[in-house]
Chain A
């Protein structure tokens, strides 16, 4: 692990009780008739140089969490501290400048690059946005420096996205994130749109850049094998909440939360002699519009108890220990809020 950078004991990002609600409108007058609790009290921290994998199935709130942390969507409540500073309090020019510290790589290398912009314009855009470059020649120089670092030729500057393959486009997206020399990079499904043989190239590139540029990653993905490969620690989300947070090895070798256990067992392993014993969950993920009471997982949980439908299990604190937000474990360590 890389040593902490002095002033703020290693914590690069500290997210506390992050909550993002989206209003639901309906009827002729489009009145607000409900709230989707997309992110419902999420806490975690990232040390400098580490990679936290954020996994979960569609609708669990992992991408919304990532976007909220970067101030790309409005936050309902909670706090986000980046290098010790309150990100949620920043506005306008201050926020724009601060963005050079944290950048994002998106999933779809076809949709996330403007087809009418050249590589120099795409990759160089954050330089202008954050005020890091003043002129076009300034920008081109910085872009020409970053391209070889992601495995692209500096002569690509004047070319357009359609001239590149999916893997090369994702390299352009990575270059765009890195051009302002950020500390934190949030990657939202960065390899899931790529073919198998190209996926490995991009994963290796991301790992190499992390070492070389001392980057910190928040790696959002649904593919557990990919997350296992790249992460130091892993957070599992289910319906807006983190249900388990642990080091990579603890999470994959000794999962605690029943949801994590069934999720891991569902991944097909490419070894026909070792067919996994799947724990097939009944039914679908419930709607985040109307999540179940208590522990959101209790209707599908093979180990559900009485208390699970009545009370929320204690939330994940992001303490660094192996934590599961589950009454199975909560009862061993602390008393439930009320015992009948």
Chain B
């Protein structure tokens, strides 16, 4: 696919997030990525990789966590979100960019009915023609959204309190709320991690349908490579605040060009194959305040050499939109390894 700059919805360039402390840390350290209209980008990583912090930076919610975006630009439809006032950013959130979280119970207010919360979300934003949507109309819209996400008897459910809904239904209600203002970008942070696998299948199906119906873009944050393989168009792999690899999904799984990505793929037990022993990655993710010099994955990497520890490797273009932050990615091209 040709790289058309003007056909980009969201464009992160070298974004840096800093958290103060005895020693300042950078949970997001120079992240660049873009999402096109209608595209689903999977952002994969383990805990501490900075994948959730990246999404909070896009939403302008880093300050609430006690940190600050100290570098880079976040362009949304050509506008730099980092230059917007709090008021302007509030309007972007919800109407243009919406977010759903892992645990729907903690994101829903327990003392308001589902319908009231969706009405509030709708009425928090001015209509394009000015003014707020009347309450009655907003309520009807809330009921319509609940129906669209597959909640049975939506009129009744709109008057329910969150605790009366099952986990799957709550996540649907969250999605209904997130989509009530017809956003162009949906950020889904581990949207199915707290759900059972049959309910997960329902939610993934739902996100796919809604995406196709509205040409909505999705930034899907997850640790689950299976989910990414099923619904992402492209995938970015993060580790200690940096993107180590980014590629079209099929290419990433067919031929991962970073030893970490390859390690992740080989270490997970899979339904479609049986192995005697899992190829575990040795060691563990280093704490963000004690990163090793150079490539942060080098202490766990089977391919590491002396030069890997000297400087952080650049994210190199391997062609076809496939980029790797490994000095030895060419060796991985030659090696017919990886998953499947």
Residues in A lying within 8 Å of B, measured CB to CB = 57-58, 165, 167, 195-201, 203-204, 207, 222, 224-226, 228-230, 252, 262-276, 278, 280-281, 283-285
Output the least CB separation between B174 and chain A (Å): 16
CA distance A58 to B196 in the complex (A): 7
CA distance A285 to B169 in the complex (A): 11
| Interface window among B27-35, B101-109, B117-125, B225-233 | B225-233
B8 interface hit (Cβ, 8 Å): no
Output the least CB separation between A225 and chain B (Å): 4
Residues in B lying within 8 Å of A, measured CB to CB = 46-47, 152, 166-169, 196-202, 204-205, 223-230, 249-250, 253-254, 263-265, 267-272, 274-275, 277-282, 284-285, 300, 339-340
- List, in ascending order, chain A residues with CB within 8 A of B268's CB: 196, 199-200, 225, 270
Contact partner of A269 (CB less than 8 A), chosen from B196, B271, B277, is: B271
Shortest Cβ distance from A202 into B: residue: B280
CA distance A196 to B263 in the complex (A): 10
> Nearest 7 CB-CB pairs, A to B?
A268-B226, A200-B280, A229-B269, A200-B267, A57-B196, A266-B201, A270-B225
Known: A197-B285, A198-B284. A272 touches B201 (CB 8 A): no
Q: Can you spell out 15 A-B residue pairs with CB atoms less than 8 angstroms apart? A: A57-B196, A195-B47, A197-B263, A203-B280, A204-B280, A225-B269, A225-B271, A228-B271, A230-B269, A266-B198, A268-B229, A269-B272, A272-B229, A272-B250, A280-B198
CA distance A317 to B125 in the complex (A): 60
Contact partner of A222 (CB less than 8 A), chosen from B197, B201, B282, is: B197
Shortest Cβ distance from B239 into A: residue: A197
Shortest Cβ distance from A205 into B: residue: B280
Contact partner of A207 (CB less than 8 A), chosen from B202, B250, B272, B277, is: B277
- List, in ascending order, chain A residues with CB within 8 A of B227's CB: 268
- List, in ascending order, chain B residues with CB within 8 A of A222's CB: 196-197
Contact across chains for A284 and B199 when beta carbons are under 8 A apart: yes
Shortest Cβ distance from A249 into B: residue: B274
Shortest Cβ distance from A279 into B: residue: B201
Contact across chains for A271 and B277 when beta carbons are under 8 A apart: no
- List, in ascending order, chain A residues with CB within 8 A of B284's CB: 165, 167, 195, 197-198
CA distance A173 to B224 in the complex (A): 25
Known: A196-B223, A197-B46. A271 touches B272 (CB 8 A): yes
Contact across chains for B270 and A200 when beta carbons are under 8 A apart: no
Contact across chains for B267 and A199 when beta carbons are under 8 A apart: yes
- List, in ascending order, chain A residues with CB within 8 A of B250's CB: 272-273
CA distance A228 to B252 in the complex (A): 25
Contact across chains for B197 and A224 when beta carbons are under 8 A apart: yes
Contact across chains for B229 and A271 when beta carbons are under 8 A apart: yes
Interface contacts beyond A196-B267, A284-B166: sample of 7 additional A-B pairs, CB < 8 Å, sorted by A: A201-B282, A225-B270, A267-B271, A268-B200, A270-B265, A273-B254, A275-B230
Output the least CB separation between A274 and chain B (Å): 7
Known: A200-B278, A266-B201, A276-B230. A195 touches B285 (CB 8 A): yes
Contact across chains for A270 and B198 when beta carbons are under 8 A apart: no
Known: A268-B229, A272-B250, A280-B205. A201 touches B280 (CB 8 A): yes
CA distance A196 to B167 in the complex (A): 24
CA distance A109 to B205 in the complex (A): 33
- List, in ascending order, chain A residues with CB within 8 A of B169's CB: 284
- List, in ascending order, chain B residues with CB within 8 A of A58's CB: 167, 196
Shortest Cβ distance from A262 into B: residue: B198
Output the least CB separation between A208 and chain B (Å): 8
Contact across chains for B269 and A269 when beta carbons are under 8 A apart: no
- List, in ascending order, chain A residues with CB within 8 A of B277's CB: 204, 207
Shortest Cβ distance from B225 into A: residue: A270
